[in-house]
Structure 1
Amino acid sequence: MNRRPTLLAALALTATAALTLSACGSDDDSTAKDNDKIAGADTDKEKSPSPTQSASESGGRPKITFPSDAKNVFEYQKTGDAAKDAALADSTLAVNAVDEAIFQSDTGTRALGFYITDKALSSYITYVQKYVDDGETWVGETRYFNYKVTLPDAKKAYVTYCSDESKSYIKNKKSGKVDRSPATENAYVLYNTSLTKNSDGIWQTTDVVSNRGNKACQP
């Protein structure tokens, strides 16, 4: 089952050269502690922590909420570098912001414009609007893993990661019908993202390219 369309693949990411496919399969991925959760995310208590929901709501950050039948799971290990870890944390909140907009059928949510800007925001607005126009949402679980982060300077970051959508499914909002078609290799996606740190210290996603069915992300 392919929850996400291939809309983002058309974007041009200036940092692509810095984000090689070797990012998937790196030793940087680990699952987060159960007591340190991201809004809308599930975690594994035996591994390293992901950014907390309380952190995402502090300093004027918008609260992100998910319905009870959907969750994102982010698996990565903190690097020990404060800037890299902040970029990783905000990249996951950008993912959650997109999904919250889908759940709310609203391209104008505060979190969407808070964590995403520039070409990425334009693309994600179009992406969310497709769900709205089709009267659809999603349920289940999406797993994000094999993270790699690079900081060429103090205000620029490149983050790559994979997603596993094999356990998330399209749901028709009106009928409530869920499409549980068997997963294919296209349920696995490689993401290359570019982030910029703004004046408030938020690492905003500015550009993104996705590659659905990429072999580097296959189980």
Structure 2
Amino acid sequence: MIRPARRATAVLMLSVALLLTSCGSGGGDESSSGKIDGADSGNGSAPAGPTASASPSDADRPEIKLSKEFQANFENWTNSDPKLQAILDDGREQLRAKYAAVIEANPDSEAVAFYSSEATLTTARKWIKQFVDDNDNIIGEVRVFDSQVKINDTGSGALFYCVDERKASTKNRETGKVAKTPDKPESVLQYRTRLDKTSEGVWQTTSVTVVPGGCS
């Protein structure tokens, strides 16, 4: 995950402790491998704007905006099954909410809390706060691809996807100094997430494991 430059040579990676351990509740049987057995893969492309991401439910979803200096490009992020599409939509917005919170320098972002369970919210806020403390912003672009999604027998959703951060950088808000992400396989991360549906119909992320180089 994107990380403040002062704290690591790999600009866009979180601390080792957070990268190599999952936060939140258990990730399920699929969390030990890079594939989800029986999962559907994305079969189309869709814009990442707030209108496209709104899943049918009773919830009033927050609008999430990224800056002109930073783009998150989601590839093949559609599924013909509406239930699986809802998981893709809310999983995407959880990631976009964290990027937006860094850009806004707001660890207490309501959008991050909306799409994160209590178990994962603490870690998300800690990650965002690292940028705020270092006065760093994020610029450039990330490519999000190779989504795998399914609903487990327990009713939980499993969503794996890859994030290529090699074209993203951090930029200090005061000095303007830019630190680029190393062009290495470790800068392509695999996110292994679990989501659970709330009473309002929101698929909140309840567990996250980030694996550097997991998509190579």
Q: TM-score range by the shorter chain?
A: 0.7 to 0.9
Query: 2:29 — aligned with what?
Result: 17
2:160/2:193 contact within 8 Å kept = yes
Distance 2:183 2:62 in 1: 33
Structure 1 residues 61, 181: CA separation in 2 closer, same or farther (over 3 Å shift)? closer
The question of 1:156 aligning with 2:160 is answered: no
Aligned to 2:108: 108
How many residue pairs align between the two structures?
A: 200
TM-score between both structures, scaled by the size of structure 2: 0.83
Alignment partner, residue 7 of structure 2? none
2: CA distance, partners of 1:150 / 1:166: 28
* SS at 2:165 equivalent: strand
Residue in 2 that maps onto 1:195: 195
- Preserved CA contact (<8 Å) 1:145 1:163: yes
Paired residues of 1:195 and 1:203 also in contact (CA < 8 A): yes
Alignment of 1:56-135 (within 5 A): 59-135=59-135
CA contact (8 A) 2:42 2:79 kept: no
Q: 8 Å contact 2:55–2:90 — kept in the other structure?
A: no
Match of 1:45 in 2: none
Counterpart in the other structure of 1:167? 167
Determine the C-alpha separation between the residues in 2 that align with 1:135 and 1:170. 10
Aligned to 1:212: 212
Gaps of 5+ in 1: 40-50
Check the 8 A contact 2:194/2:206 in 1, yes or no: yes
SS in 1 for 2:13: coil
Q: Distance in 1 between matches of 2:119 and 2:81?
A: 27
Change in Cα spacing, 1:204 to 1:173, as seen in structure 2 (3 Å) is: same
TM-score (norm 1): 0.81
Name the SS of the counterpart of 2:35 in structure 1: helix
Please tell me the root mean square deviation across aligned C-alpha atoms, in Å. Answer: 2.4
How high is the sequence identity, in percent, across the aligned residues? 25
Paired residue type of 2:35: S
